[in-house]
Structures are given as structure tokens and as C-alpha cells.
Amino acid sequence: MRPDPDFWRGKRVLLTGHTGFKGAWLALWLQRLGAQVTGVALPPATEPNLFALAQLGQAAPGMESHFCDIRSPQALAMRVRAARPEVVLHLAAQALVRPGYAAPLDTFATNVMGTAHVLDALRGLPEVRVAVVVTTDKVYRNREWAYPYREDDPLGGHDPYSASKAATELVTASYRDSFLAAQGIAVATARAGNVIGGGDWAQDRLLPDAVRAWEKGATLHIRRPQATRPWQHVLEPLAAYLRLAQRLWESPALAGAYNFGPLPHEAATVKNVIELASAAYPASAISYENESEGPHEAGWLALETAHARQVLGVAPHWSLNTAVARTMNWYRQQHGGADARALCLADIDAWEARP
């Protein structure tokens, strides 16, 4: 499932959300593969941020960067037409559960209508062949049972973020069935589990919160240590998105929804992940709590990934131990002065080199 440079070299790719954590990693990987990338996104939401540290906003061969709000359909359509994309990778989103509670209307506007604006901008563009819309593992109606969710399980969402992403799935399916399939565009959605990796500084994410606390010599407070998620290194779903796009180009009939993540039995608790992280980070203090207050968050979630393994040949490269160790090593080296772009490229090299 390694990305094929022969396929991506020279491809015109529209990448939304390239200023975010996953988007910046993907922009860097696409550049490395020789694609012609046009990035469309809001300015970075955190300081520091990987977009700036990896120098993705600077003029560089194979990369154009534009700040544009996907909630603005006219401005977005202009950027899409100018890019003349052959492949569209839509990652732009409000991607956090707790900010979804704080600003539900913004969350729905970005994730639902923003996606509709992206897909609508593709109508009538003759050169587009593939569109991959990234959603989340949280699109399923979570019944808190010991059952990994399959692509044909009911969609839902208790919190605004999850509900907005479930609605994004419906919007995408509607545009595919009503307009884009007849136009010759193969459209798929990608539902990925929780990602970790260097370069994430968002609030309310587990390892960024840990790094912030431990760099200051503070204690990390864990609200729900037994919450279970399908954790994976950021390179795993990004490679899966690239593989999915290539397979859609070759076989448009593969359009549909795909889960990406570790094997179902490899879902791990927050406590498991933090214990692995603390072993790789010096003087790390942790306080485990059992917070029942605050907004609802799912306690247990796992994905069945057999469909992606069988149809696309996608399977995880790195174990959870390796993913956490590489993530914490990235932060330690970057905090010590190492170049963020070089650290990312080294991780990509290591991931691609695995037998």
C-alpha cells in the first residue's frame, strides 16, 4: 500500500485543509511524490503549527497554498476552477469534539455545508476523476457495545462534531449519486480512527496535551483513562487515502465508504497510550481521574477494517507501540531544535521502508 510515485508524479491534486495537522503531513508527502498540489484552507489554527514549521506556505515546486474558507462557495469555486484538479482530497473540517459543543453552528457550517460547497464546485469540471472526502470513525451511531463498526452500520452522532460528520457522509453520497458519478468522478468517504504523530498542537488531543504538560514539568490530568479508541500513526490513514484515490482512478466502481484503522482487537485505552508515551518521555507526571462531568464523549469505539484490507490491500504498518514511540521522539527532537520538515520526511522514509 505504499503510495506509487509513478501514479502521483505530475497529478494535479486539490487538497483542502492543508494547514491542519493531517493536511500538512499529506501536503508534504504529496510534494515528495511529485504531485502538483493546490492547498485550500483557513490559516493555521494553532501556534506553533506544522504548516509553518514544515515550510508549506513558502513558494516551492509542486505546491500552491491559498487561504480560503470552504463556507464561502463563490471564493472556493474560483480556487477549484483555477486548480483544474484531477484528484480532490477533502480534509478541511472542524475536527474536534469539544469545540463542536462550544460552537455547534460553525461546526455544522464547516463540516456539512463546507463539504457540499467543495463537491458542488466539482460539477462541470471535466478533468476531475477522483474525490476522497475524509470524515471520521465517529460517524456511527455509537451504542457503546463491544462490536467494531462496519461501513454499512447506521450513521449517527450524539455530539455536534460526530453528527456533522455523519451528515457529511449523507451529503457526499447524495452528490455522488445525483451528479458526480454520471460526470465520471469516483467519490469515496474515508472514516479513520484516532491519529497520533508529531506536529499536532491542537487542544484537547491526548498526546499534544501530554507534551504541553510535560515540557513545562506539569502533571498531565487524564479525564477518562478507560476510554477506548482505534489509535494509529498519522501516516497510516494518509497512506490509505492515497491508496484509495489511486484505486478509484483505476476502478471507479470501488466508490463508497471505507474504514481505516488498526485491527478491531487492537483498539486501546487512553491509559494504555499514555503509559507508552510516558515511557518515552522523561519526568512525565500523570494524574488519572474519572470525570463523569462535562459533555458526552463515547467510551468505546472500534472499527472493522476488513473491507479496506480486502478491496484496497490496506493494512497498518506500525504497531501502537511504534506509533507512540515515533510520535514522542518527534516532539522531543523538535523541542530540542530539530527541523520539523526533516523529522516528518524521516518518518515518511521509515514508514515506506518497512518490509
pLDDT in tens, 151-194: 999 999 999 999 999 999 999 999 999 999 999 999 999 999 89
pTM of the model: 0.96
* Helix locations, 216-291, DSSP H: 235-250, 270-279
pLDDT at 298: 65
pLDDT of 294 reads: 60
SS3 331: helix
Q: Which are the contacts of 87, defined by CB distance < 8 A and separation ≥ 6?
A: 11, 12, 13, 14, 128, 129, 130, 131, 132, 245, 249
In this prediction, residue 120 carries a pLDDT of 98
- pLDDT for residue 292: 62
Mean pLDDT by 10 residues, the chain (355 residues): 94 98 98 97 96 87 94 98 98 95 97 98 97 97 87 96 98 98 98 96 94 94 91 98 98 98 92 95 86 66 95 95 97 97 98 87
Q: Hey, what's the torsion of the CAs at 120, 121, 123, 128, to 10 degrees?
A: -130
Provide the residue type at 200 as one letter: D
pLDDT of residue 59: 67
- pLDDT at residue 296 in the model: 62
Alpha helices in 137-256 (DSSP H): 160-175, 206-215, 235-250
Helix intervals (H) in 34-102:
50-53, 73-83, 97-102
Q: Is the peptide bond before 48 cis (omega within 30 degrees of 0)?
A: yes
**Cβ atoms of residues 15 and 23 within 8 Å:** yes
Q: How many CB atoms lie within 10 A of CB 59?
A: 8
Q: List helix spans (H) across 34-141.
A: 50-53, 73-83, 97-102, 104-108, 114-121
- The C-alpha atoms of residue 246 and residue 139 are separated, in whole angstroms, by 24
55-59 contacts at long range (C-beta below 8 A, 24 or more positions apart): 55/341, 56/18, 56/19, 56/24, 56/27, 56/28, 57/19
Which three three-digit cell numbers place residue 348?
515518511
Cell 450524539 found at? 158
